Structure 1
Amino acid sequence: MKHHRSDFLVIGSGLAGLMTALGLAELGTVALLAKCELTGSATLWAQGGIAAVMAESDSFEAHTRDTLNAGAGLCHEDVVRHVVSQGPKVVQELIERGVLFTQEAGDSFPDKLPFHLTREGGHSQRRVLHAADATGRAIETSLAKQARQHPNIRIFEQHNAVDLINGSKLGLNDPGCLGAYVYDKVRQEVRTFLARATVLATGGAGKVYLYTSNPDIATGDGISMAYRAGCRVANMEFIQFHPTCLYHPQAKSFLITEAVRGEGGKLRLINGEAFMHRYDPREELAPRDIVARAIDAEMKRRGDDHVLLDISFRPAEFIKNHFPNIYERCLLLGIDITREPIPVVPAAHYTCGGVMVDLNGRTDLPRLYAAGEVSHTGLHGANRLASNSLLECAVYAQDIREHVRATWPALQAIELQPVPDWDESRVTDSDEEVVVSHNWDEIRRFMWDYVGIVRSNKRLERARRRVELLKGEIEEYYRHFRLSNDLIELRNLVLVAELIIRSAQARHESRGLHYSLDYPEKAPILQDTVMQKDWPDPCLYRVDAAADAVVPQTAGSKHQVLDG
């Protein structure tokens, strides 16, 4: 029971993981790991939708331009054009897999399906397909149902990956990724999962912050595992704070979708005064970083705990039809959004950086792929355009499937070598569980206070000192005591916190989601922040728009392109 072999190992069960698993199952056997229940991923929580060019009035060029504008100069244009161009194709696959997007009679689209398209911040057109205000749930449940029914997919719920198995680090002839050591939360034991190819689809790291829209499982596991295995990670300083999460003591992590503002919702102070006109001519439809900073600034200026988002001036039936889940959830808490505004605050929402991958989803470690929020593709740059995240998940799931299909004969020839069992012979049961809970709380609080929406050198240095101290304590605890799920997550959480802090310290400018009081202007050179385990400090890499590549800052030629 402690060993499992399959052709493919997919770690994560959101849109990226499920679509990849379903595609790979056409070639061979798939072990699909879900950290909690199968449908417990961040995808389930996605309200807004998936951005794709579907209307005749829209164009790939317009979607590309909007994405590049939101990314503040750091998007990789070749990646943006590739992802945008695949939008209609992956939407069609989702429809074929049973996802029911909201329809509206009267519009004419290339595929003759009358989808209702909404508009969100940063978009110049209505191009966001949605399933009411619960798009993620519609996608997740449809794909999960197919995965459960597929004969080549074996699902392992309540399984949390601990570390990737790197053949070269074990001294084996095979230098690639051989699978992962995985903690079975039910049996409370570590199992070995071996595979010819492994896919990370573990999502982001929102739980590193005190306030977040993310589910509890978003602890940066895939980013941390890949970093420890020797993969490069990039742009971890760019954490997107969603401007509007419901402010209520009983409303843990409940997001108020961007589409509320897209349909005319107005942000107001507690006294009813509008304020977005003071920050951007696009007002409520400005990109998320601008809106989040505006709300944060007004809250700090006035000392308020929240602001208000008002859609109550729209007809009640319109609100109930377009935002049924938000309406019901708020009503349960005593807020009738057809009659009164919604109290909202910004919260950590999306990790724009992550494990570096190429256009095929490949990481630096052979036979290890990554897709979705865990990855850094170059699509989002310094700020993700709303609803491009589900699009990226679907496109890179497709790209990974196609690359694996093209290399399948070579993968089939690989003979999986035996690897050492997980060694717990020198650890004992912990008698200090309080260390885990206290350290978890401390990390999330100082990250919110010092590495949040607005940063400074002094705040970052304070955070750096604290994270280094905690990292040492946690590693010592990890070496001496038997694993638990909380300890696995805490170990990953402290590492991803360190990566965010170090990346933020290396960026001496304000751009996109990274705003520094000490460096309020943009730097003239466009750079990605790249880190690898053996490097003492982050390395800044120039984003060369002409070469559509990431190039070392010190390189003499724009043609010196990094692989991956």
Structure 2
Amino acid sequence: MRVEDWDVVVAGAGVAGLFCALNLPEGTRTLVICKEDAATCDSMLAQGGMCTLTGPDDREPWIADTLAAGHGDNDRAAVEAMVDGSPAVTEALLSLGVAFDRRPDGSLDHTREGAHSRPRIVHRADTTGAAVTEALLAAVRALPWVEVRERCPMEDLLVEEGTDGRRCAGLLARDADGPVELRAGTVVLATGGVGGLWERSTNYPCLTGDGIEACRRHGVAVEHLDWVQVHPTSLYSEGPGRAFLISESCRGEGAVLIGADGRRFCDELAPRDVVTAAIREQMGREGSRSVRLDFSAVGEDVVRGHFSHIYETCLAAGHDILAEPVPVVPAQHYLMGGIACDLWGRTSLDGLLACGETACMGVHGSNRLASNSLLEAMVFAARCAETASGEPPRVAPGAAHPEMRPPAGAAAAADATA
């Protein structure tokens, strides 16, 4: 088997993996691998946007909204870390050329989604994830000390026994030339969620929990794998394949859910699990396979502008959302549990870090607040970069609170329930 040596190997090329690689110190020999091509990651699919602080007076309301949506199962310290890291991440993305939508006066345009008490979500129309991921991918590919290797799925962790106990020494993977042993001082798992294991999901089919399963095989702590979020509104279709998400921000801009009788049946801006339950109850009462999302109260300019991707995708499927309600149905969307980590991305195995959807830092609790995911992934990716290098993040130093240092010793996640 071929053997390669790297300083850091990152499995996953979504926003978590890319932001981690981008924030490692200059000259850190880094390999980023992904299972398919770099475009086939769920980060590309994020529509609604990314939460960010709109001012000091929004810190506590945002924390409260996150805790309420997560049913109090959140780790408050993790929520605070995410919220406090948001300005640095936002500034970093702006410096990389992410063109978030702005108001006529030039300020960032903030929208609102379900379970948010106020608008705090920056966006790029309804393709925010693509705008962010493409900017990060371009920035990472421009770094001469980083390689992005597509179609190189990880197959297992490389775990070795030493005098100080077990340690992750790299990854076993497979690329175009066959199996390869990728040895590294630090491995970062950012392999995404589990949607490919579900019959109906908004995720790409290749998202099958590979990093989580590798950890389970080697006794690395994982937790709350039953904390799976269902998104209330995916486009109803009889056909197979990935379900198309219709962003929660549509409801934030005035779209309402109606039954077969044309009447509203729930609070569209309640947390996702509450809205999902209401939709399922309505479908049960009607004996139907979907409900409908009515855009009548959303202006045509907003539909054609802010929601242009949604409008065009629905139109291609035979639904003109400007002329009639569109059929929607819940679909699996996000995993809040995952590989148990402390707030610096450290797992129960020395040398192994995790961030993004595959990790469980405790931010989301048992139900994720809308548009916290992109931000959470990048805040803790920056922290992983600091843990791996011992230096402040390169492009977003404030995201990891440089006045704090990752605590020495074994990971706090070591005693998590496997």
Say yes or no: TM over 0.5: yes
Q: Which has the higher contact order (CA 8 A, sep 6+)?
A: 2
Superposition pairs of residues 395-434 of structure 1, within 5 angstroms:
395-406=379-390
Specify the alignment match of 1:14 in structure 2. 14
User: How far apart are the structure 1 equivalents of 2:213 and 2:415?
Assistant: 21
Instruction: Using the TM superposition, name which of 327-336 and 59-68 deviates more.
Output: 327-336
- Is 2:196 aligned against 1:196? no
Query: 2: CA distance between counterparts of 1:262 and 1:47?
Result: 13
* Offset of residue 405 of structure 1: 2.7
1:42 maps to 42
In structure 2, give the amino acid aligned to 1:46: A
Corresponding residue for residue 31 of structure 2: 31
Aligned counterparts of 2:27 and 2:269: Cα–Cα separation in 1? 44
Determine the structure 2 residue equivalent to 1:511.
Answer: none
Q: Map 1:335-346 to 2 at 5 A.
A: 335-346=319-330
Per-residue CA deviations over 1:192-220 (Å, capped at 9, x if unaligned) read: 11111000000011122111000112101
SS of the residue corresponding to residue 299 of structure 1 reads: helix
What do the CA deviations read for 1:259-284 (whole angstroms, capped 9, x no partner)? 001111100112312111xxxxxx10
- Which protein has the larger Cα radius of gyration, Structure 1 or Structure 2? 1
- Mapped partners of 1:72, 1:311: distance in 2: 30
> Post-superposition shift, 1:561?
9.8
Q: Which amino acid aligns with 2:261?
A: N
Secondary structure, aligned partner of 1:394: helix
Is structure 2 residue 260 aligned with structure 1 residue 270?
A: yes
What secondary structure, in the 3-state scheme, does the structure 2 residue paired with 1:180 have?
strand
Question: Is the 2:24–2:386 contact (alpha carbons within 8 Å) kept by the matching residues of 1?
Answer: no
Is contact 1:27–1:405 with CA below 8 Å preserved after alignment?
A: no
Q: Measure how far apart 1:152 and its partner are.
A: 0.6
Contact between 1:167 and 1:173, CA under 8 Å: does it hold in 2?
no
- Residues 347, 414 of structure 2: 8 Å contact kept: no
SS at match of 1:159: coil
Checking the alignment, whether the CA contact within 8 Å between 2:346 and 2:413 is kept in structure 1 is no
AA matched with 2:228: I
Letter of the aligned partner of 2:140 in structure 1? A
User: 1:254 offset after TM fit, Å?
Assistant: 0.8
CA distance in 1 between counterparts of 2:3 and 2:324 reads 56
Pair 95,561 (structure 1): closer, same or farther in 2 beyond 3 Å:
closer
Aligned partner of residue 87 in structure 1, secondary structure: helix
Q: Which whole-Å deviations, capped at 9, do the CAs of 1:411-446 have from their partners, x for residues lacking one?
A: xxxxxxxxxxxxxxxxxxxxxxxxxxxxxxxxxxxx
CA distance in 1, matches of 2:170, 2:296: 51
Aligned to 2:396: none
Task: Tell me, in whole angstroms, the C-alpha distance in 2 between the residues paired with 1:175 and 1:397.
Answer: 24
Work out which of the residue numbers 215, 218, 222 in structure 1 matches 2:207: 218
Residue 358 of structure 2 aligns with an amino acid whose one-letter code is: V
Q: 2:114 aligns with which of 121, 125, 132?
A: 121
SS at match of 1:292: helix
- Please list the CA deviations of residues 456-497 of structure 1 after superposition, one character each: whole Å capped at 9, or x if unmatched: xxxxxxxxxxxxxxxxxxxxxxxxxxxxxxxxxxxxxxxxxx
* CA apart distance, 1:335: 1.2
1:103 corresponds to: 102
For the pair 1:324 / 2:271, whether they are aligned, the reply is no
Q: Give, in whole Å, the separation in 2 of the partners of 1:24 and 1:224.
A: 26
Residue of structure 1 aligned with 2:367, choices 383, 388, 407: 383
Q: Is residue 9–residue 179 contact of structure 1 (8 Å, CA) maintained in 2? A: yes
Match of 1:4 in 2: 4
2:167–2:350 Cα contact (<8 Å) kept: yes
Contact 2:348–2:413 under 8 Å retained in 1: no
How many residue pairs were aligned?
Answer: 396
8 Å Cα contact 2:25/2:391 also seen in 1 = no
Give the residue type in structure 2 aligned to 1:296.
R
Provide the secondary structure at the position in 1 that maps to 2:113.
coil
CA distance in 2, matches of 1:253, 1:27: 41
Query: What are the Cα deviations for residues 298-325 of structure 1, in whole angstroms up to 9, with x where unaligned?
Result: 1122210100011133221221111010
**Is the CA contact (8 Å cut-off) linking 2:202 and 2:245 kept in structure 1?**
yes
Cα separation, 1, equivalents of 2:357 and 2:26: 24
**Alpha-carbon distance between aligned partners in 2 of 1:49 and 1:76, rounded to the nearest angstrom:** 23
Secondary structure at 1:116's aligned position in 2? Answer: coil
Of the candidates 148, 162, 170, which is equivalent to residue 179 of structure 1? 170
Provide TM-score, normalisation by structure 2. 0.91
Could you tell me which residue of structure 1 aligns to residue 77 of structure 2?
78
Q: 1:364 to 1:55 in 2, by over 3 A?
A: same
Shift of 1:397: 1.0
- Aligned-residue offset at 1:172: 7.7
Q: Post-superposition shift, 1:237?
A: 1.1
Secondary structure, in 3 states, of the residue corresponding to 2:268? Answer: helix
**Is contact 1:132–1:323 with CA below 8 Å preserved after alignment?**
yes
- Is 1:154 matched up with 2:147? yes
SS of alignment partner, residue 92 of structure 1:
helix
Decide which of 232, 239, 244 is 1:254's aligned counterpart. Answer: 244
Shift of 1:180: 0.7
SS of residue matched to 2:82 = helix
Aligned-residue offset at 1:401: 1.5
Matches of 1:141 and 1:99 in 2, distance apart?
Answer: 9
Structure 1 segments unaligned to the other structure (5+ residues): 107-112, 277-282, 409-559
Structure 2 distance, partners of 1:194, 1:30, is 11
Q: Do the aligned residues in 2 keep the contact of 1:352 with 1:373 (CA within 8 Å)?
A: yes
CA distance in 2: counterparts of 1:562 and 1:10, whole angstroms: 21
The aligned residue for residue 206 of structure 1 is: 195
Gap runs ≥5 in structure 2: 393-411
What is the alpha-carbon distance in structure 2 between the residues aligned to residue 287 and residue 59 of structure 1? 19
Query: 3-state DSSP class of the match of 1:284?
Result: coil
Q: RMSD in angstroms over aligned alpha carbons?
A: 1.9
Contact 1:3 1:191 in 2 (8 A): yes
Match of 1:350 in 2: 334
SS of structure 1 residue aligned to 2:169: strand
Instruction: Report deviation, 1:89.
Output: 1.2
Q: Paired residue for 1:306?
A: 290
Identity between Structure 1 and Structure 2 (%): 39
* Amino acid across the alignment from 2:246: I
What is the rounded CA distance, in whole Å, between the counterparts of 1:37 and 1:162 in structure 2? 17
Counterpart of 1:359 in structure 2 is 343
Query: Do the aligned residues in 1 keep the contact of 2:111 with 2:121 (CA within 8 Å)?
Result: yes
